[in-house]
Structure 1
């Protein structure tokens, strides 16, 4: 397959590397010129528990990406989805499939309109990855990914992608209940990401704090109640287990929201905590702790924004 990774930060590079290892024709697409230049000059440096690799994957600005692609994997921030896909529209053909592995709720609707509904896929990944410098990505943790057609239909392409990712070293599987999996990941992120961003600390720090643990537990329970009210009948126990894994196995991982706040960038808190609160309140369910974290991160964004 001819594959474009649209938004080639830490997670995008990790997945691009997997498709590359599986023998596919991968192009990393991003707007970070320094990052692209480093990859093109020295290869993508990927540091995992298996060792350090230097992978010769071409990296391009959107305007320079030559399509049409068979697959575009979208890893941009949720608020950049529309603009990013518009910038790559010249490389999206009549047979191109789109796959969102982004954070937050509602990514299926953001992709719809760029291709027909039967070529939209969504997924959820619980893999850690950090961009440690231009062209350099570190991923020292275990995880998995799930994916499926966003609006139902033939899962053949999704199955091919899961097999390719697994062959490339990132375990992935089909999940007909993918929207439940997405809800679970959003709830996990709503519990962990804001606290990392607000404390400027990694999950290991949160694990040592009784106050943080109580807050995390409350957000998970509020999120599950919101999911249930919206028809996603998920269990809270696996999400609580994931938060524990985050605080132990991924203790030093810098959550994306922490990276954004440290860099003075807008976060995805609206698509994570904000989306949970809005989905909950639309059904008459309260989510006060999740709302408070949402507002506190928005205050951080206001503080960092140019005056």
Structure 2
């Protein structure tokens, strides 16, 4: 293995991937962004990335980059920030570089990605992550960090040796972004899942900003229905859950991210496939496994599937 032991590879060149790539490169940590093609790799290495922090401070760095289909040494630490539905296909492209020593941190919206990856790569050591950082790309080489959040990682289908947990979270935290190990990650993941279940499909279907869900009347009724169903599923999963608390969390997030365009709304607008199968679709699958009904989440899921199918985004 010719990889530097402290090096990272980043798969998925979106805003969150760019945030980590810039932070790691600025800290002097070897980091390589895996890009779609040679041209984009060359541009990224030549021009670098600039992150604009919430306080106006700017961070500029030039991470290494190489096309995803290139050969190359085995990968030791991999941060996967692709869309949930693209993850397995993206990993297929670098399958020849994934070995027993690879540690893949899956940092995605929704749940169920790790199970899909484990099915295809049963021996790959995956670690599941969740982040409350928010960022968007204002120009091709410029990222705006909209919210300074926290990143938590925890066990995937194969438990990580205890001795490695602190080492891996420290290695990720070298980016200057918070990162820590959480033994109770499942609860955190479910809380974020419920937020996504309530906010994403509704804002996408109505083409409205997140703040609309903080309104009264019909918006609250819809949020409540999603959360009541989710709380029942969480309890069946053996997790503590209170519908009222979940509703308050959703309304608070909707209020705080008032003008934000949800990721699903952006995908629907662009005619792309959405992460619905890993958000409300995942909640439905778990509901079914426990013999529970979740009619509101089912309706939202079917409407999003119908919306993308009729918009020519069924590809």
Q: TM-score, normalised by structure 2?
A: 0.87
In the TM superposition, 1:98-117 aligns within 5 A as 98-112=104-118, 113-114=120-121, 116=123
C-alpha separation between the residues in 2 aligned to 1:31 and 1:102?
A: 19
Q: Which of 135, 139, 144 is the matching residue for 2:145? A: 139
Q: Distance in 2 between matches of 1:97 and 1:212?
A: 41
Shift of residue 144, structure 1, vs aligned partner: 1.3
Q: CA deviation at 1:194?
A: 0.9
Residue 274 of structure 1 and its aligned partner are, at CA, apart by 1.0
Matched, 1:48 2:59: no
Q: 1:32 to 1:256 in 2, by over 3 A?
A: farther
Q: What is aligned with 2:133?
A: 127
1:14 maps to 2:19:
yes
When residues 59 and 210 of structure 1 are mapped into structure 2, their CA distance, relative to the original with a 3 A threshold, is farther
1:59 aligns with 2:99: no
- Pairwise CA distance, 1:81: 1.7
- Using the size of structure 1 for normalisation, the TM-score is 0.89
Deviations 1:57-98 (A, max 9, x none): 123321137332211111212222221111012322331111
Q: Does 1:163 align with 2:170?
A: yes
CA distance 1:272–1:88, shift in 2 (3 Å): same
| Cα shift at 1:193 | 0.9
> Which of 254, 263, 282 is matched with 2:270 structurally?
263
> What secondary structure sits across from 1:76 in the alignment?
coil
Provide Cα deviations, 1:180-218, integer angstroms capped at 9, x if missing partner. Answer: 222221111111111221122221233235322321232
Is the counterpart of residue 175 in structure 1 residue 182 in structure 2?
A: yes
Runs of at least 5 residues in structure 1 that lack an aligned partner in the other structure? none
Contiguous gaps of at least 5 residues in structure 2: 1-5
Instruction: Report which of the two structures shows the higher radius of gyration computed on alpha carbons.
Output: 2
Count of residue pairs brought into register by the alignment: 306
Given that residues 35 and 134 in structure 1 are in contact (C-alpha distance below 8 angstroms), is that contact kept between their aligned partners in structure 2?
no
When residues 35 and 140 of structure 1 are mapped into structure 2, their CA distance, relative to the original with a 3 A threshold, is farther
Q: Does the 8 Å CA contact 2:49/2:60 hold for their aligned counterparts?
A: yes
**Deviation (angstroms), 1:108:** 2.1
Q: Is the contact between residue 80 and residue 105 of structure 2 (CA under 8 Å) also seen in structure 1? A: yes
Q: How far 1:238 moved relative to its partner?
A: 5.7
Report deviation, 1:269: 0.4
